[in-house]
Structure 1
Amino acid sequence: MSDIPETVRRTVIRDIYRKADELGWDGLSAVDRTAWYNRWVDDEKLGGVLTRYMPRDRARMWIKDVPMKHYNRARSGIGPYTDLVGTPLPSAYDIVRIAMGEDWTVLGGTLQEKPNRCQVTDGRSRMLMIWGNPRNLKSLVWAGLNARVDGLPSPVVVINLLQGERLTESERRRHQNVCELAGLDVRVITTRATRTTAADRERPTSRLPDD
């Protein structure tokens, strides 16, 4: 898989991301996604290119495990393929302003993934912001508990709904109760993907506040 020339790799990944955007990938079922993996392998401009460097079954695995494994991370401004997405999700800088206010920003060099998290500050204090969709609540809470055990800044869990997604009142109460039981602050926000240029996605970073 590593024998794919870098320019070819990036061109294929960009094309796959464009197709995923057009399909509304986040809203597809597992069955639909499987069907599209198979179609992409049969696509002359995708699988037809990849099978020059690997067998067909490995090409399908490559599509699933390389570009699509990084798809939402890349859309969130994380990982090696962030410049290849056409409809990025709100970045950490956007999330913190929406969830915590305009005075808050991301501390440079603190961004991590699995789950997405970073330290944030308003210039006076700092917190560890952990964010993701409702399906990832378990991993968000677990990361928050580990942050408390490790003595990191006070964690806040941000549940990010994409435009069109909804939580029922019972789901909201359950999420709130789970986080409160774990001793975690929780915020629920709604955002949407937007088409931007690479320059639009650049954000300033902040220094750690003086202790």
Structure 2
Amino acid sequence: MSDIPETIRRAVIRDIYRKADELGWDGLSPVDRTTWYNRWVDDEELGGVLTRYMPRDRARMWIKDVPMKHYNRARSGIGPYAGLVGNPLPSAYDIARYALGEDWAVLSGTLREKPNRCHVTDGNHQKLLIWGNPRNLKSLVWAGLNARVDGLPAPLVVISLLQGERLPDSERRRHKRLCELAGLDVQVITTRATRTASANPEGRTHLLSDG
């Protein structure tokens, strides 16, 4: 797999991410995803390129385990392929400013994943910002509990919905109650993966709206 020239590797990953964006990948079932992995291997511009460097079965595995394993993290500005996404999700900088205010910024070198989290500061105080979608609530709460046990800055759990997604009021109350029982501050926000005229330190910014 390492025999793929870097320029070709990145071009293929960029194309895969473009196709995944067009399909609305997060909304696809496992069966649908499997179907698209197979179609991508059969696509001359994707699989046709990869099979110059590896067998067909390895090409399918490569698509699943390399670019798509990093897909959502890359969209959040995290990991080696962050610069290859065309429809990025709000970055840590965006989430911090929206959840806490314009005075808050991400501390360099603190960004982590699984779940997404980072240290943020307003110059006087620090917090541990932990964010993700409702499906990742268990991981968000667990990370918050570990932060409290480890004596890290006070955790703030941000449940982030994409525009068009709906969280029923009963579920919203349940999520907030679970976080409160764990001793965690929590916010629910709705975001749009949309570029605007100004940019954050990573060259991206997003429109955000109340959740």
- What is the TM-score of this pair, normalised by structure 1? 0.92
Greater RCO structure (CA 8 Å; 6+ sep): 1
C-alpha offsets along residues 1-43 of structure 1, whole Å, 9 cap, x if unaligned?
Answer: 1221111110100110111111111222222111111100000
Deviations 1:121-172 (A, max 9, x none): 1121110000000000011111111111111001010000011111101101
Tell me the equivalent position of 2:148.
148
Per the alignment, residue 76 of structure 2 pairs with 76
Identical pairs, percent: 82
> Match of 1:21, SS?
helix
Report if aligned partners of 1:86, 1:196 keep a CA contact under 8 Å in 2: no
Residues 71-95 of structure 1: per-residue CA shift (max 9 Å, x gap): 1111111000111111111110100
Q: Secondary structure at the match of 1:161?
A: strand
2:93 and 2:200 in contact (8 A); partners too: no
Residue 38 (structure 1) aligned with residue 38 (structure 2): yes
Deviation at 1:196, TM superposition (A): 7.1
Whether contact under 8 Å (1:86, 1:195) holds in the other structure is no
Indicate whether 1:29 and 2:29 are aligned.
yes
Q: TM-score scaled to structure 2, two decimals?
A: 0.92
1:151 is matched by which residue type in structure 2? Answer: G
**Kept after mapping to 1: 8 A contact 2:94/2:200:** no
> 1:130 — aligned with what?
130
Aligned match of 2:17? 17
2-structure distance, mates of 1:50, 1:200: 34
Question: What SS is found at the alignment partner of 1:194?
Answer: coil
Q: 2:163 matched to which residue of 1?
A: 163
Output the CA distance in 2 between the equivalents of 1:74 and 1:200.
17
Higher mean alpha-carbon deviation, 100-109 vs 128-137, is at 100-109
1:88-129 C-alpha deviation (Å, 9 max, x unpaired): 111101001111122211111111111100001112111000
Q: Look up the match of 1:202.
A: 201
Work out the number of aligned pairs and report it.
203
